[in-house]
């Protein structure tokens, strides 16, 4: 009989323990704002337990700098403003599993020696920044040494024009499995900057008005970039020192200037560039040091130079692309290279197709003598423009 009572008591204790354990693990909502439990976000974060939601109400300006060192959600209702007063990072995240959403984050510090941020995530995984507005920050969102981060559906731009302190909109360094998607990015130095970032997906972003590159990545491998729109950026998009990259269904347009490109490739290997649109750029696509690239089913239209293929590029396959309305469809700086150019459509082709198989019977040579001279010495372009103006 005693054994039965002891067993019953143990079961009761276990049941009560489970109840308290469940209560402890359940997330609470901690409210900040006029008439709410807390008047400052800092106070609310200090009492929050892991997995709690700190909910900030009202379109109010909170002049606070925040540090998040526990897994919580920081959520704004009616887009409250967190203003750092130009005194450092506005929000620092030093914990895993943090969510920041629905806020306007502005006025980080500005320095030519320190990279200050609107949101600065360091040494953390699974941190989400979504549905936020970023204004007047040096760097808007920065991830350093992170994994499984998500930057989604944010509106990002900066008013900084002084080059030594101008930062990037989304900046990732030494991170893996990042997802940057659906963001609208305006004026910054670079729109999206990635360095030592692998196995990541950058999709459906709109990037314009950047003082340098809309997208700039180096030493970043096994990444996919699809459905992005890069336009009216000072230098276009730059891909450098990478391998196993897929660039699919992106649009590069209206990137114009003496050093502007729709897409600049420098030392890229084993990668695919397909179904993209290169429109109205000074240079649609420049490949310098591309090796074992598949470039196919792209539309290259109304550019000054459609494609520039520099001598260091080898074993590239360029096929089934449409070249339309470019001043020069293709140029190179050597008389021979080890690349395959086949099955493309050239609107300047004047040959014939007697067997009606859709392919010209006479090979087309896109490299004109004048384009070769221009590749060696750009000053000869004066004669090209003079000739067109006098016709």
Is the per-residue pLDDT at 203 higher than 80? Answer: yes
- pLDDT grade for 234, boundaries at 50, 70 and 90: very high
Cα(272)–Cα(343) distance, integer angstroms:
17
Please answer whether residues 97 and 74 qualify as being in contact, where contact means their C-beta atoms are separated by less than 8 angstroms.
no
Is the per-residue pLDDT at 184 higher than 80? Answer: yes
Cα(149)–Cα(152) distance, integer angstroms:
10
Cα(345)–Cα(360) distance, integer angstroms:
10
Q: pLDDT at position 383, please?
A: 46
Backbone angles phi, psi at 250, to 5 degrees: -100, 160
Q: What percent of the chain has pLDDT over 70?
A: 82
- pLDDT grade for 366, boundaries at 50, 70 and 90: low
Q: Each residue of 345-363: pLDDT tens digit?
A: 988 766 555 565 666 545 6
CB atoms closer than 10 angstroms to residue 361: 10
Cα(332)–Cα(329) distance, integer angstroms:
11
Cα(233)–Cα(211) distance, integer angstroms:
6
Cα(36)–Cα(55) distance, integer angstroms:
10
Domain ranges of the chain: 27-234, 240-391
Domain 27-234: CATH superfamily is: Single-stranded right-handed beta-helix, Pectin lyase-like (2.160.20.10)
State the burial class of residue 1 (Cβ atoms within 10 Å of its Cβ: 0-12, 13-18, 19+): exposed
Please answer whether residues 306 and 330 qualify as being in contact, where contact means their C-beta atoms are separated by less than 8 angstroms.
yes
């Amino acid at each position: 009989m005693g054994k039965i009572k002891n067993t019953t008591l143990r079961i009761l204790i276990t049941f009560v323990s489970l109840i308290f354990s469940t209560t402890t693990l359940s997330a609470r909502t901690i409210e900040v704002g006029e008439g709410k439990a807390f008047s400052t976000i800092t106070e609310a974060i200090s009492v929050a337990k892991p997995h709690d939601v700190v909910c900030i109400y009202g379109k109010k300006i909170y002049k606070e700098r925040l540090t998040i060192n526990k897994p919580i959600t920081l959520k704004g209702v009616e887009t409250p403003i967190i203003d750092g007063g130009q005194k450092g990072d506005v929000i620092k995240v030093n914990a895993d599993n943090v969510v920041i959403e629905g806020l306007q984050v502005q006025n980080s510090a500005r320095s030519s020696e320190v990279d200050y941020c609107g949101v600065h995530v360091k040494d953390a995984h699974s941190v989400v920044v979504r549905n936020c507005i970023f204004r007047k920050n040096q760097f808007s969102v920065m991830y350093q040494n992170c994994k499984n981060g998500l930057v989604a559906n944010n509106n990002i731009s900066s008013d900084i024009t002084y080059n030594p302190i101008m930062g990037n909109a989304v900046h990732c360094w030494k991170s893996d499995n990042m997802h940057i998607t659906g963001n609208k990015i305006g004026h910054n130095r670079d729109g999206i900057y990635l360095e030592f970032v692998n196995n990541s997906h950058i999709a459906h972003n709109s990037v314009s008005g950047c003082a340098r590159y809309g997208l700039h990545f180096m030493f970043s491998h096994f990444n996919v970039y699809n459905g992005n729109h890069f336009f009216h950026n000072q230098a276009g998009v730059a891909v450098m020192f990478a391998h196993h990259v897929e660039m699919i269904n992106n649009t590069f347009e209206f990137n114009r200037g003496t050093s502007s490109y729709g897409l600049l490739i420098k030392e890229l290997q084993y990668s695919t560039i397909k179904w993209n649109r290169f429109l109205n750029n000074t240079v649609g696509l420049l490949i310098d040091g591309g090796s074992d690239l598949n470039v196919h089913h792209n539309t290259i239209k109304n550019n000054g130079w459609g494609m520039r293929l520099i001598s260091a590029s080898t074993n590239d396959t360029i096929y089934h692309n449409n070249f339309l309305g470019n001043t020069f469809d293709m140029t190179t700086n050597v008389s021979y290279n080890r690349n395959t150019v086949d099955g493309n459509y050239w609107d300047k082709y004047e040959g014939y197709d007697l067997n009606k198989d859709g392919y010209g019977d006479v090979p087309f040579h896109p490299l004109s003598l004048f384009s070769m001279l221009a590749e060696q010495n750009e000053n000869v372009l004066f004669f090209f423009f003079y000739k067109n103006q006098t016709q």
